[in-house]
Amino acid sequence: MTDLRIERVRGDGTASEGLLEDWRHVHNVIVPPAALSLDEVRDRAGRYHLEVAYLDDVLVGCTTVRPPQNGRATATVIVRVLPGHRRRGFGGRLHERGLALARALGATTFETVVLATNEEGLRFAQAHGYAESDRYTLPGESTLWIDLRSDKG
Protein backbone atom coordinates (compact mmCIF):
# COMPACT_ATOMS: atom_id res chain seq x y z
CA MET A 1 0.00 0.00 0.00
CA THR A 2 1.31 3.44 -0.89
CA ASP A 3 2.03 5.59 2.13
CA LEU A 4 -0.35 8.30 3.06
CA ARG A 5 1.00 11.80 3.36
CA ILE A 6 -0.57 13.39 6.41
CA GLU A 7 -0.46 17.12 7.02
CA ARG A 8 -1.36 19.03 10.19
CA VAL A 9 -3.90 21.81 9.80
CA ARG A 10 -2.93 24.60 12.18
CA GLY A 11 -5.10 27.40 13.45
CA ASP A 12 -2.19 29.71 14.23
CA GLY A 13 -1.97 31.19 10.75
CA THR A 14 0.79 28.84 9.56
CA ALA A 15 -1.53 26.42 7.77
CA SER A 16 -1.94 26.99 4.09
CA GLU A 17 -5.39 27.91 2.85
CA GLY A 18 -5.22 24.70 0.82
CA LEU A 19 -4.95 22.50 3.92
CA LEU A 20 -7.79 24.35 5.62
CA GLU A 21 -9.94 24.05 2.51
CA ASP A 22 -9.12 20.34 2.04
CA TRP A 23 -10.06 19.54 5.66
CA ARG A 24 -13.25 21.58 5.21
CA HIS A 25 -14.08 19.79 1.96
CA VAL A 26 -13.83 16.31 3.50
CA HIS A 27 -15.78 17.35 6.60
CA ASN A 28 -18.55 18.94 4.55
CA VAL A 29 -18.85 15.95 2.18
CA ILE A 30 -19.15 13.50 5.09
CA VAL A 31 -21.23 15.69 7.41
CA PRO A 32 -23.34 17.99 5.19
CA PRO A 33 -25.85 18.97 7.91
CA ALA A 34 -22.94 20.47 9.90
CA ALA A 35 -21.11 22.10 6.99
CA LEU A 36 -18.41 24.50 8.16
CA SER A 37 -17.07 27.76 6.78
CA LEU A 38 -13.35 28.35 6.39
CA ASP A 39 -13.39 30.62 9.46
CA GLU A 40 -15.04 27.86 11.51
CA VAL A 41 -12.31 25.43 10.40
CA ARG A 42 -9.64 27.96 11.40
CA ASP A 43 -11.27 28.18 14.83
CA ARG A 44 -11.36 24.39 15.23
CA ALA A 45 -7.75 24.12 14.12
CA GLY A 46 -6.85 26.42 17.00
CA ARG A 47 -8.67 24.23 19.56
CA TYR A 48 -8.19 20.71 18.20
CA HIS A 49 -5.61 18.65 16.33
CA LEU A 50 -6.75 18.52 12.68
CA GLU A 51 -5.03 16.59 9.90
CA VAL A 52 -5.65 15.88 6.22
CA ALA A 53 -4.47 12.75 4.42
CA TYR A 54 -3.37 12.39 0.81
CA LEU A 55 -2.51 9.39 -1.34
CA ASP A 56 0.19 10.90 -3.52
CA ASP A 57 -1.51 14.26 -4.22
CA VAL A 58 -5.10 12.99 -4.01
CA LEU A 59 -7.15 14.01 -0.98
CA VAL A 60 -8.30 10.91 0.93
CA GLY A 61 -9.65 12.05 4.29
CA CYS A 62 -9.25 14.06 7.45
CA THR A 63 -9.13 13.60 11.19
CA THR A 64 -10.00 15.52 14.32
CA VAL A 65 -8.62 14.79 17.77
CA ARG A 66 -10.23 16.74 20.59
CA PRO A 67 -7.89 16.46 23.58
CA PRO A 68 -9.00 15.55 27.10
CA GLN A 69 -10.44 18.50 29.02
CA ASN A 70 -11.54 19.43 32.51
CA GLY A 71 -9.47 16.74 34.23
CA ARG A 72 -11.12 13.92 32.28
CA ALA A 73 -9.02 11.31 30.49
CA THR A 74 -11.39 11.18 27.50
CA ALA A 75 -10.47 12.35 24.00
CA THR A 76 -12.62 12.46 20.90
CA VAL A 77 -11.14 10.87 17.77
CA ILE A 78 -13.02 11.44 14.51
CA VAL A 79 -11.94 9.93 11.19
CA ARG A 80 -13.49 10.86 7.85
CA VAL A 81 -12.57 9.13 4.57
CA LEU A 82 -14.04 10.22 1.26
CA PRO A 83 -16.32 7.57 -0.29
CA GLY A 84 -14.00 6.77 -3.22
CA HIS A 85 -11.19 5.82 -0.84
CA ARG A 86 -13.02 3.64 1.68
CA ARG A 87 -12.33 -0.04 2.36
CA ARG A 88 -8.65 0.31 1.53
CA GLY A 89 -7.29 0.57 5.08
CA PHE A 90 -6.91 4.35 5.14
CA GLY A 91 -9.52 4.87 7.85
CA GLY A 92 -7.86 2.29 10.10
CA ARG A 93 -4.48 3.92 9.67
CA LEU A 94 -5.87 7.36 10.40
CA HIS A 95 -7.75 6.02 13.41
CA GLU A 96 -4.60 4.43 14.87
CA ARG A 97 -2.74 7.71 14.38
CA GLY A 98 -5.54 9.62 16.13
CA LEU A 99 -5.60 7.17 19.03
CA ALA A 100 -1.82 7.43 19.44
CA LEU A 101 -2.07 11.20 19.67
CA ALA A 102 -4.99 11.00 22.10
CA ARG A 103 -2.99 8.61 24.32
CA ALA A 104 0.00 10.97 24.21
CA LEU A 105 -2.34 13.72 25.41
CA GLY A 106 -3.36 11.58 28.41
CA ALA A 107 -6.53 9.90 27.18
CA THR A 108 -7.49 6.44 28.39
CA THR A 109 -11.06 6.57 27.09
CA PHE A 110 -11.99 7.49 23.54
CA GLU A 111 -15.14 8.85 22.00
CA THR A 112 -16.29 9.52 18.48
CA VAL A 113 -19.41 11.03 16.97
CA VAL A 114 -21.17 9.91 13.80
CA LEU A 115 -24.09 11.28 11.86
CA ALA A 116 -26.86 8.70 12.38
CA THR A 117 -27.47 8.38 8.64
CA ASN A 118 -23.79 7.52 8.03
CA GLU A 119 -24.14 3.73 8.20
CA GLU A 120 -20.58 3.14 6.96
CA GLY A 121 -19.24 5.44 9.66
CA LEU A 122 -21.22 3.61 12.34
CA ARG A 123 -19.96 0.23 11.13
CA PHE A 124 -16.38 1.56 11.10
CA ALA A 125 -16.67 2.85 14.67
CA GLN A 126 -18.20 -0.39 15.93
CA ALA A 127 -15.55 -2.47 14.14
CA HIS A 128 -12.93 -0.43 15.98
CA GLY A 129 -14.36 -1.15 19.42
CA TYR A 130 -16.75 1.73 19.95
CA ALA A 131 -20.21 1.22 21.42
CA GLU A 132 -23.10 3.64 21.26
CA SER A 133 -23.38 5.84 24.34
CA ASP A 134 -25.90 8.49 23.28
CA ARG A 135 -28.25 9.64 20.52
CA TYR A 136 -29.29 13.25 20.32
CA THR A 137 -30.28 16.21 18.22
CA LEU A 138 -28.87 19.66 18.84
CA PRO A 139 -31.30 22.34 20.02
CA GLY A 140 -33.33 23.70 17.13
CA GLU A 141 -32.09 21.06 14.69
CA SER A 142 -33.44 17.74 13.41
CA THR A 143 -30.17 15.97 12.57
CA LEU A 144 -29.63 12.85 14.69
CA TRP A 145 -26.09 12.27 16.02
CA ILE A 146 -24.67 9.20 17.72
CA ASP A 147 -21.89 9.35 20.31
CA LEU A 148 -19.82 6.20 20.69
CA ARG A 149 -17.27 5.34 23.37
CA SER A 150 -14.38 2.93 23.85
CA ASP A 151 -11.83 2.26 26.56
CA LYS A 152 -9.88 -0.18 24.41
CA GLY A 153 -7.98 2.33 22.32
Torsion, Cα of 61, 42, 126, 96 (10° steps): 70
Buried b (16+ CB within 10 A) or exposed e, 65-95: bbbbeeeeebbbbbbbbbeebeeeebbebbb
Task: Note the pTM of the prediction, 2 decimals.
Answer: 0.93
**CB of 92 closer than 8 Å to CB of 79:** no
DSSP category for residue 84: G
* Nearest one of 70, 21, 69, 62 to 41, comparing CA atoms: 21
Residues 118, 101 contacting (CB under 8 angstroms): no
Question: What is the pLDDT tens value at each position of the chain, 153 positions in all?
Answer: 468 999 999 877 666 788 999 999 999 999 999 999 999 999 999 999 999 999 999 999 999 999 999 889 999 999 999 999 999 999 999 999 999 999 999 999 999 999 999 999 999 999 999 999 999 998 999 999 999 999 876
